[in-house]
Amino acid sequence: MNSIKKIAIVGPESSGKTTLAQQLAQELGDPWVEEYAREYLNNLGRPYDESDLVEIAKGQVDSERNSASKASKYVICDTDMVVIRIWSLEKFGDISGSLEIQMNSEIPADIYLLTDPNIPWEYDPLRENPYDRQYLFDQYKFYLRNGGFRFKIISGSKEDRLQLALEAVKYMDSL
C-alpha cells in the first residue's frame, strides 16, 4: 500500500463506521474494506475467544491488501488494528503477545476518522456494548492522541460526517 493512502474509520460499535466507509468509497471512487470480524464471527459457530482476534487481525490485513491492489489513490477501511486493540482490551483485559506482534508489524493508517457515538444505537447480534459507547469513544481518542496518530473526530448527521471526513482527507492530501 506504499502509494495508496489508508483511511481507517474507527470508533465504538454502532457509531456509523460502515455508513461512512461506504459514503467515502462512493465519493472518492476507491474501494472500501469491510470489517473482516463480521464474516469471521458469523462463520465461527461458537463464542469467540482471545485467540480468534489474531485470526481476525490477519483477515483484516489480508482484506486491506487485496483492496489496496485495486485502489487508485485510497483504501477506506471500516476498522483496522486500532479497533481490534481496543476490542481486545475491553473484552479480555489485555492484548495477547501474538496479537501485539501482528499489530506492531502493520503500518498505521495515514489518517484515522474517529466516529462519535452521537447517533442512535442499532441492534445487531454481533454488537456487545450498547451502554458504554461514550467510554469506548474516549478510549479510542486517548489511544490515538497519545500514540501521535493523525485523526479527526467525525460527528453529526450523515451529511455532516461525510463533509468532515472529506475535509480530513483533503487535509491529509495536502501534507
Instruction: Render pLDDT for 4-14 as a digit per residue (tens, 0 to 9).
Output: 999 999 999 99
Rounded Cα–Cα distance for residues 143 and 151 (Å): 11
pLDDT at residue 1 above 60?
Answer: no
pTM for the full predicted model: 0.93
Ramachandran angles phi, psi of 25, nearest 5°: -60, -45
Taking the C-alpha atoms of residue 168 and residue 67, their distance in angstroms, rounded to an integer, is: 21
What is the domain range of residue 102?
5-174
Question: What's the mean pLDDT in 19-38?
Answer: 96
Residue of higher predicted confidence among 159 and 123 = 159
pLDDT at position 3 is 87
Domain count across the chain: 1
**Span 90-110, mean pLDDT?**
88
- Asked if the model's pLDDT at residue 100 lies above 80, the reply is yes
Q: What's the pLDDT tens digit per position in 45-89?
A: 999 999 999 999 999 999 999 999 999 999 999 999 999 999 999
CATH number at 169 reads: 3.40.50.300
Q: What is the pLDDT of residue 2?
A: 55
Provide DSSP, 31-96.
-EE--HHHHHHHHH-S---HHHHHHHHHHHHHHHHHHHTT-SSEEEESS-HHHHHHHHHHHHSS--
Q: Which residues pair with 111 in a beta bridge?
A: 7
For the segment 115-154, what is each residue's pLDDT rounded down to a tens digit?
999 998 887 878 887 789 999 999 999 999 999 999 999 9
User: Comparing C-alpha atoms, which of 18, 10, 4 is closest to residue 144?
Assistant: 10
pLDDT of 21 higher than 50: yes
